[in-house]
Copies of this chain bind each other. A is one copy, B any other.
Amino acid sequence: MSEKPNLLVSSSAVIGRFGNLLPSAKVYLLDELDEDELDRLLPSIDCILVQTWWPDSLTPERISRMTRLRFIQSGMAGVNHIPFKHLGKRVMVSSNAGGFSAGVAEFAFALMLAAAKRVVKLDYALRTEEFDPADWGHLSREVVVLKGRTLGVLGYGGIGTAVGSLGRALGMNVIAFSRHPGKVAGVQIFHGGDGLLRVLRRADAVVIALPLSKLTVGLIGSAELAAMKADAVLVNVARAEIVDEEALYRHLVKFPQFTYATDVWQIKRGKETYASKFPFLKLNNFIGTPHVAGGSSVLTGEPGKAAVENLMLFLRGEVPRNVVDPSEYI
C-alpha cells in the first residue's frame, strides 16, 4: 500500500497499551474528534475498532458516508451491537470472542461451582439467620460433586473451548452443542435442534457460550428447559436473550433444585437491566452478577491485544479471524 489505511478507534485505552498497531495505520480517536472533524474524515475511513458498544455518534447517516469502510473489529466477544443493516456488503465484521476466553471461562466456572455447591444460597441463609441447623442434612445433600458428572457446553468457540478444558480438568465428561462439526479430543459434539436437546437431557451442568444472533435468540425456551434434569445447573455468560425470560422464571419456580446463574441481563430500552417483571432476585435458585466477566478480562490486557492482533491481519492485507456472517444478525 502506498498510503497507510485510516483507522477510527472508539476509545484511546487500547492504543496506549498496544502502540505497535500504529506503524500500520493512521489512527483517529473518536473521542478527540469534534463533529466537523468527524464528518470530514468519514469518506476516508478504512476500518474501525469499536472497543465496547457501538458509539452513538456513528449514526446510520454517518455510516452511509463511510464509503471506503471495509472492516470493523469488535473489542467485545459479542457483535450483536454492530448496526449490520446499515453496513454495505463489502464491510467485514470480526468478533473478539477469543480474547475473552480465559477470563470468561473462569467466570463461568465460578458461577457453575457456586451453583452446584450452593455457595450463594448457604452464605445468604447464614447471613440472614434463616439457616436452621436442623436443615443441615438435606442442604448438604444438595451440594453436588461435579467430578464424574456431565458438563454440556452450548457453543464451542473460544469461550466454549476454554470452558470444556476446565471441565475436563475437574474430571467431568464434556459434551457440546455446536454448528461446526470440528473434532475435539475427548469432547462429544452434537449438532442441530435434536443435538441441543440431547446435550440438555444428559448434562448435570450447562454453560451457554453462544453468540446472540437471529439463530440463538430465545433458543432456550420452555421445551429446552423441560428437557434438562430437575436439579441441573444452567450458567449464562453469553447474552441473556438466548434464554426465554418467562419460561426460565416459571421453570425456576417449578423446580427449586434447578439453579440458573447468570452474568448477563436482558437489554431493555438499549440498556442491560437487572430489574425484571419476573422477580428472579427473590429466588434462592437464581444467582446474578452485573456483567463483570468481560470487564475483569479487559484488565488482563488479553482482549485488547487479541483485537489489535486481528486488526493487524486486516491492515497487512491478510484475512482476519472470527469474521461473522451478517445474515445471522440483520
**Chain A residues engaging chain B, CB cutoff 8 angstroms:** 102-103, 106-107, 109-111, 113-114, 116-120, 122-124, 126-127, 131, 133, 136, 139-141, 143-148, 165-166, 169-171, 274, 281-282, 287-293, 295-297, 299-300
Contact = CB atoms under 8 A, between A and B. Distances in A.
A123 B118 CA distance: 13
A295 B136 CA distance: 10
Contacts of A296: 117, 140-141, 143-145
Nearest to A284: B127
A144 to B, nearest CB: 7
This chain: how many copies in the complex? 2
A131 B274 contact: yes
Contact of A295 (B116, B140, B166, B289): B140
Nearest to A124: B124
Nearest to A117: B110
Contacts of A126: 274, 281, 288-290
Nearest to A271: B133
Nearest to A283: B127
Nearest to A129: B281
Given A114-B113, A145-B106, A145-B300, A123 B292 contact: no
Given A131-B290, A147-B300, 5 more contacts: A102-B171, A110-B114, A117-B293, A120-B124, A143-B296
